[in-house]
Structure 1
Amino acid sequence: MSATTATKVPARGGFSVTRTLHLARWNAVLLVRNRLALTYALVMPLAPLLTLLAGERGLTSLGATAVAGVLLLAGLFPVFYNVLSQFVSRRDELVLKRMRTGETRDAELLTAIALPGVACALLTTAVAVPVAVVAGQDAPVNVLLFALGALLSVVMFAAFAYWTAAWTRSAEAAQLTSLPVIVLASVGPFVGGLPSLSDPLREAISLTPGAAVNELVRVGWFGLDSFDATTTTLTFAETWSLAGQPLVVLVVWTGLALQLAQRSMRWEPRT
């Protein structure tokens, strides 16, 4: 038998939804057993809604800030940090290496790891709608646009997680290596609204993923036509036109993160 034949990997079939869901189920079980991780995944993203109870009832600017915070935290905690730590832990334990020698495809492994966190993020985002309405906020002007923004953001943060895993040596190190993405996601909502910023700097900050998520919430949910607006003026149809730039920003960041993750993916721990 030639060396080429001896080391040949058996051909594997196409992407299996059944196999992916089976793996995702076990990943979900592990998440549920980790009470701290589950709390961060389901409770922490909803924390910004508490400001609606403490502030003036029905205040649009407060509602926009709170809902945007829910969307960002849902992407950062149950998706980004959870996927990052799980992938790195299983890579270091050689779990991923062993599974790749069987029928499981790489795409199935990556999707299965991300699915529980994505499900938690989308669940908390959906729960935020009735909670915000009960707290005095108006119903979303364009709920489809809000849902699209939530879906794009979780895919983007999952891609960021796999990219960050490339230079994360251990699950403990993820606390440090995750900071650049957390800062990148936070700079838009917290810094972009400062009145002292110049227009060029404000425009540059608007291209960050966090600013794009924040803008989608303001346009899609509250129908605000500018960052300084405090009154709903946009109709359902008008929200689609103003949402073009933030949607493009999210798509570009997602594509960039996926491309970088694919190029730098490491399936085994560094020796």
Structure 2
Amino acid sequence: MTTLSLSLPRTLRLARWNAVLLTRNRLALTYGTVLPLLPLALLLGGDRGDEALGAATIATVLTMAFVFPVFYNVLSQFVTRRDELVLKRLRTGEARDAELLTALVLPGAVIALAVALLAVPVAAAFGQDLPRNPLLYAVGALACVALYAAFAFWTAAWTRNAEAAQLTSLPVILLAIGGQISLALPDAAQRWAELTPGAALTGLVRVTWFGMADGRTSSTLDLAATWGAAAPHLAVLVAWTAVACWLAARSLHWEPRV
């Protein structure tokens, strides 16, 4: 049974320990910090202020930020420490389940949110406008952190070891990147693709940053209109998060799978 209450000081101490381990893994740190920002270089080769290019590029940046430091990092760390019995030993002490899970998520979440924040001045330096609705942009980023953390714990429930995570992570990665091409699909397929997390994130970027209505390639929404236009995309993220949390709570294993 999972204990939901947590101690903030103890959670932060555990998170600091996880952050130290993450910084020692140079490959994971590079994937989490450098790789997500690389797509911004595409803005150098395009027309300054090209909103369609900007929206696609920033959606790619955010997708990589949530997939690597949040989803894949949490998945691999949880599975590795579960198999090494680290989590089992911690659970026999004072640490509660919610503290262990939150502490695993926090380092990658901080990196992903830092990338989302850093993308704003970098994109502006490359000729893009500032976000139309910064608050909604921040809310969307936080929603994606919760979603991909939930995906990580759900995926960990049926991942036997760290090596298997390279395969078991593929369905979530496909959901993340497949939705980015939803606008290019036929109408019938597009309606289904828009229900994926990747399409929801892309839609949020288009609305909250560029004020683009669905299917449009230029700004048409003012600040007030972005709230209503963003609601369906946020609803998709919340629905996926609820389902992933429910499935993870039902099937999460704290000891090695046999």
Query: 1:225-248: per-residue Cα shift (whole Å, max 9, x none)?
Result: 122x22212111100011110010
Which piece of structure 1 moves more, 39-48 or 210-219?
A: 39-48
Residue of structure 1 in register with 2:184 after alignment: 194
Corresponding position of 1:242: 229
State how far apart, in whole Å, the 1-side matches of 2:255 and 2:217 are: 51
For residues 194 and 125 of structure 1, the distance between their equivalents in structure 2, rounded to whole angstroms, comes to 25
Q: Aligned partner of 2:201: which letter?
A: V
Following superposition of structure 1 onto structure 2, how do residues 2-81 of structure 1 map, counting pairs within 5 Å? 14-81=5-72
Normalising by structure 2, what TM-score? 0.97
- Could you report, residue by residue, the CA deviation over 1:2-38 in whole angstroms, capped at 9, with x for unpaired residues? xxxxxxxxxx994100000000000000111111111
Partners of 1:97 and 1:169 in 2: CA distance: 16
State the distance in 2 between where 1:205 and 1:135 align: 30
Question: What count of residue pairs does the alignment treat as equivalent?
Answer: 256
> Which of 139, 155, 160 is 1:148 aligned to?
139
Whether 2:89 is the aligned partner of 1:116: answer no
Residue of structure 2 equivalent to 1:9 = none
List aligned pairs for 1:94-133, cutoff 5 A. Answer: 94-133=85-124
Say whether 1:217 aligns with 2:205: yes
SS at match of 2:108: helix
Report the Cα distance in structure 2 between the residues aligned to 1:51 and 1:88, rounded to whole angstroms.
35
**Contact between 2:143 and 2:238, CA under 8 Å: does it hold in 1?**
yes
Distance 1:140 1:218 in 2: 10
Instruction: Give 1:139 shift.
Output: 0.8
Task: With the length of structure 1 as denominator, give the TM-score of the two structures.
Answer: 0.92
Structure 2: how far apart are the matches of 1:218 and 1:147?
A: 14
For residue 193 of structure 1, give the secondary structure of its aligned residue in structure 2.
Answer: helix
Gaps of 5+ in 2: none
Structure 1 residue ranges (4+ consecutive) displaced by more than 6 angstroms after TM superposition:
none
The question of whether the paired residues in 2 share the 8 Å contact of 1:13 and 1:103 is answered with no
Q: Is the 8 A contact 1:57 1:137 kept in 2?
A: yes
Larger radius of gyration: 1
Q: Which residues of structure 1 form unaligned runs of 5+?
A: 1-11
State the shift of 1:200 in Å. Answer: 2.8
Q: Is 1:180 aligned with 2:171?
A: yes
Q: Give CA deviations for 1:64-84 in whole Å, capped at 9, x if unaligned.
A: 001111111111000000000
Provide the alpha-carbon RMSD of the alignment: 1.2
